[in-house]
Amino acid sequence: MTIAASYARFGAREAHGVSPAYERLALAVSRDDELLALLETLPPAKRQPNLLFAVVRLLGGPVEDPAAFRAYTLANWPAIEAEIRARTTQTNEAGRCAVLLPVLAALPQPLALLEVGASAGLCLYPDRYAYRYGEHVLGAGEPVLDCVATGMAPPTRRPDVVWRAGLDLNPLDVTDPADAAWLDALIWPEQEHRRARLRAAAAVAAADPPLLIRGDLVDDLPALAARAPAGATLVVFHTSVLYQVPAPRRDAFAEVVRGLPGHWIANEAPDVLRHDALPEPPSGAHLNVLALDGKPLAWTRGHGQAINWFA
């Protein structure tokens, strides 16, 4: 796919109905030869709309008006390019805990959580957040994670977590202002509710920081898993990570994780982690598949807004 086509597609499929600002920018970039020529100078993995728009936001550039965005980007390209080359999209969405919770709560307790592709580790606190599944509320305090659950009874307890650790190629630290600014910039402009959720989840993590290890989810997983305490159920999990991992490495990861004791929870798009048989998805929206030990259980919305149980 050309860069122009990928921006047009992003605008029409991903940003449409979610972020009018990013929809406008993506469509404008898709028709702008000068901006497309600059993007062409970047490695393919660095040309994504999400990365460009987040870097411009991080630097304080305008993202509401395509003409102002264009002028800013052309005038500041060296700084933008440096940030793009240095950074990756590492959105950390605590809301995803709402779709992990039904599985986590049903496993033998207590749990030792090991998240691969943890970013800043905000999904390592499913026991500390509050949840609202329709009328059903679980826990108290902030953030409250809202989730529409269908085909299942909402969970009635939060897990008992005795150990939490994350593995990431580039772990982020919510107490570092630069990392916090990048996590904020990754949230799309209109999504104030997600920004508030990020701040609340970051406060939870900052009060009791997780063990975050810099490493690869294939090469460094066994050593970190070996540090989990005896007497707890080891749960290796990941959400929205494998699309960033080349296909042969995804297979290598699945082989490593299957060889570990405990359980494996995956929440990934069906085209990056394949399952033999899946029912029709509930809508045309971008959905992940929640799976336990390789068995698919539910469709889930990208930020944990909904879970549709089918197992």
Ligand X SMILES: C[S@@+](CC[C@H](N)C(=O)[O-])C[C@H]1O[C@@H](n2cnc3c(N)ncnc32)[C@H](O)[C@@H]1O
Q: Is 117 in the site for ligand X (CB under 6 A)?
A: yes
Quick one: 89 or 109, whose CB is closer to ligand X? 89
Residues 246-265 that bind ligand X (CB under 6 A): none
Cβ of residue 45: shortest distance to ligand X, in angstroms? Answer: 11
User: Is residue 300 part of the contact set for ligand X (CB under 6 A)?
Assistant: no
- The residue within the footprint of ligand X, chosen from 6, 30, 73, 240 (CB under 6 A), is 240
Site for ligand X contains 221 (CB under 6 A) = no
Question: Residue 296 CB, nearest distance to ligand X (Å)?
Answer: 18
Whether the bond into 143 is cis, omega within 30 of 0: yes
Q: How far is CA 275 from CA 166, 184, 218, 298, in A?
A: 25, 33, 20, 12
Kindly indicate which of the ranges 59-67, 161-169, 174-182, 228-236 contains the residues binding ligand X, using the contact rule CB under 6 A: 161-169
Measured CA angle at 234 (ends 228, 235), to 5 deg: 125
Closer residue to ligand X, CB minimum distance, 38 or 164: 164
Query: Are residues 124 and 111 in contact, defined by beta-carbon separation less than 8 angstroms?
Result: no
C-alpha 21/C-alpha 230 separation (Å) is: 49
Kindly tell me which of 83 and 93 has the beta carbon lying closer to ligand X.
93
Check binding of 239 to ligand X (CB under 6 A).
yes
Please state, in angstroms and as integers, the Cα–Cα distance from residue 49 to each residue in 63, 147, 234, 304, following that order.
12, 27, 37, 22
What is the pattern of x (binds ligand X, CB under 6 A) and - over residues 21-40?
--------------------
**Contact in structure between 156 and 101 (CB atoms under 8 Å):** no
Give residues 44-103 in contact with ligand X (rule: CB under 6 A): 88-93, 96
Using CB under 6 A, which of the segments 9-17, 112-120, 128-136, 137-145 binds ligand X? 112-120
Bridge partners of residue 289, in order along the sequence: 268, 299
Tell whether residue 167 is a contact of ligand X (CB under 6 A): yes
**Interface with ligand X in residues 170-199 (CB under 6 A):** 170
Q: Give the HSE-up count for residue 12: Cα atoms under 13 Å, Cβ half-sphere.
A: 7
Binding status of residue 244 toward ligand X by CB under 6 A: yes
User: In angstroms, what is the minimal distance from the CB of 242 to ligand X?
Assistant: 8
Asked if 69 and 63 count as a contact pair (C-beta separation under 8 A), the reply is: yes
Question: Do 162 and 233 touch, CB atoms closer than 8 A?
Answer: no
241 binding ligand X? (CB under 6 A):
yes
Q: Report if residue 119 touches ligand X, rule: CB under 6 A.
A: yes
What x/- string results for residues 121 through 140 when contact with ligand X is judged by CB under 6 A? Answer: --x-----------------
Is residue 216 a contact residue for ligand X (CB under 6 A)?
yes
Stretch that binds ligand X, among 102-110, 117-125, 130-138, 205-213 (CB under 6 A): 117-125
Position among 4, 59, 152, 169 found at the interface with ligand X (CB under 6 A): 169
Contact footprint for ligand X (CB under 6 A): 88-93, 96, 116-119, 123, 167-170, 216-217, 239-241, 244-245
